[in-house]
Amino acid sequence: MINRAVLGVAQLARMHPDLRALSRSVEVIRDVPYLKGAGPEHCLDVYRPRERTGRMPTLLYVHGGGFRLLSKDTHWIMAAILARSGYLVFTTNYRLAPAHPFPAAVEDVCRAALWIQAEASAWGGDGLGLSLAGESAGANLVTALTIAACYQRPEPYARAVFDAELAVRSVLPACGLHQVTDMERFARANPKLWPVIRRRMQLISHDYLGGARLDTGGESLANPLLILETGERPARSLPAFMLTCGDRDPILADTQRMHVAVQSLGARVETRIYSGGHAFHAAIWLEEAQRCWRDQLRFVSTEHPAEPV
């Protein structure tokens, strides 16, 4: 029901005059498979500006939804905003929990990134690497993908990304849930946390992990934050990070910890906290959401410039 409701809102949003103009400014190619014989969970959409000159910088956007809900179709606004700013944007589906627990989502995002690396030039990409963006669970997944690109990991799907020398130019994890274990940490830090939010967090962890026991210390790609907090130096330098979050987001602490972890490893990191709750920036008709998008576009254009369109 939540999936249908959010998808309905996303489709109704196309009727708003400003969003109609946004939609008209981009070309969309839907349901491109990134695996042979793919079903809907292994397809992506391609967004690019209708008016463009030359090769475009390439960006992968990964949707959130607690690893359990939503899709590329519910997040068309994010992809369209980035494409209108001059980017070749791929926004991908991935297998969802609880039917497909960890590591299915991470594995799929790694596969999608490798497909984009191989195919982006055919869609007009500049071939100079890939920027990454996502919110909530999507922020977790793009951070895990960044770790796969920069660290020599034991997981076969992560090692495939490392061996392919995927060049990540910048990362924009918004309102990220960067540690999926020990979700009670949020309630310990905030005894006033609403019980319904606490139960929701426990459900996300249970369904995503599927009862699996993570390796010692939880340093699994389900917990990219814990990997970075070990202080282990990557084999390849981390790209620049811009972290964004709302000041009333119950998982704000993960963004704050991520800033410290990335900074301690010598990477450029910029963190901006805005007035709002979880995924506030999806309400792009609000001034605070617009300010967040302006800041993110400024950041990514510095690290991975797009030609004006």
Which residue is listed with tokens 């991935």?
Answer: 94
Q: What is the mean pLDDT of the chain?
A: 91
Can the peptide bond before residue 49 be classed as cis, meaning omega within 30 degrees of 0? Answer: no
Q: What's the pLDDT tens digit per position in 57-91?
A: 999 999 999 999 999 999 999 999 999 999 999 99
Mean pLDDT of 172-188: 96
Model confidence at 212: pLDDT above 90: no
Q: What is the pLDDT of residue 9?
A: 47
Model confidence at 309: pLDDT above 70: no
Model confidence at 6: pLDDT above 50: no
Model confidence at 5: pLDDT above 50: no
pLDDT level of residue 53 (50, 70, 90 thresholds): confident
Q: What is the pLDDT of residue 12?
A: 47
Q: Where are the domains of the chain?
A: 2-303
Q: What is the pLDDT of residue 38?
A: 86
- Give CA separation, 253 vs 164, 175, 190, 198, in Å: 33, 10, 11, 15
Model confidence at 141: pLDDT above 90: yes
- Give CA separation, 76 vs 95, 98, 214, in Å: 18, 24, 33
pLDDT level of residue 25 (50, 70, 90 thresholds): confident
Which residue is listed with tokens 């660290």?
Answer: 151
The domain 2-303 having CATH identifier 3.40.50.150: the answer here is no
Q: What is the pLDDT of residue 218?
A: 57
Q: Which of 71, 54, 53 is nearest to 63 (CA)?
A: 71
Model confidence at 194: pLDDT above 50: yes
